[in-house]
Amino acid sequence: MRIFDYFRNTKKETASIAKERLQIIVAHERSQRNQPDYLPKLQQELLAVIRKYVEIEQDDVDVQIDKNGDCSVLELNITLPG
Amino acid sequence: MRIFDYFRNTKKETASIAKERLQIIVAHERSQRNQPDYLPKLQQELLAVIRKYVEIEQDDVDVQIDKNGDCSVLELNITLPG
């Protein structure tokens, strides 16, 4: 899967209420499949950086990690108190 | 602009050579336009986290910040030594 196809295929959100949201997507396209995948480890470190700016509860964070061939994608969806 | 529309509209890359690439997208959808925008400050901190895992030269990083109404998007495109 190409790195940019991932974003095009993202489902459309249907929520209509104005909320404060933060979405972080890290896509790693490797040239060889046997390279280490560090995205799972990145997750907590990224949240630590974001927490310097906004207060985030653990329940406010939805985490997904997808792998498809040589492309790994870490997606963090954070709903902030509006 | 809806937060997810941004990703769908991303232009398709035409490069065909296998490279190691890392793309970080942070999209911040605010409920009110007068809230502070901390994405520009986040940029260097995110790179510092990534540098724990891979060696990145400053020249390898392409940074874009887009604003559209109440949605701000920080995009870091990093080409790694393959």
Degrees to nearest 5, angle at CA B53 with B47 and B55 = 70
Q: Do A26 and B24 touch (CB under 8 A)?
A: yes
Cα of A1 vs its chain's centroid, Å: 17
Q: Is A65 on the interface with B (CB under 8 A)?
A: no
Q: Do A31 and B22 touch (CB under 8 A)?
A: no
**With contacts defined as CB-CB under 8 Å, which chain B residues touch A30?**
20
B72, B66 contact by CB (below 8 A): yes
What does A12-33 look like in DSSP terms, one character per residue?
PP---S--EEEEEEEEEE-SST
pLDDT of res. A8: 53
Q: Is A51 on the interface with B (CB under 8 A)?
A: no
Element (H, E) at B43: helix B39-50
Full-model pTM: 0.74
Read off the pLDDT of residues A38-78 as tens digits, 9 standing for 90 and up.
888 888 899 999 999 888 888 899 999 998 888 899 999 99
Indicate if the pLDDT at residue A14 is higher than 50. Answer: no
Read off the pLDDT of residues B40-72 as tens digits, 9 standing for 90 and up.
888 889 999 999 988 888 889 999 999 888 889
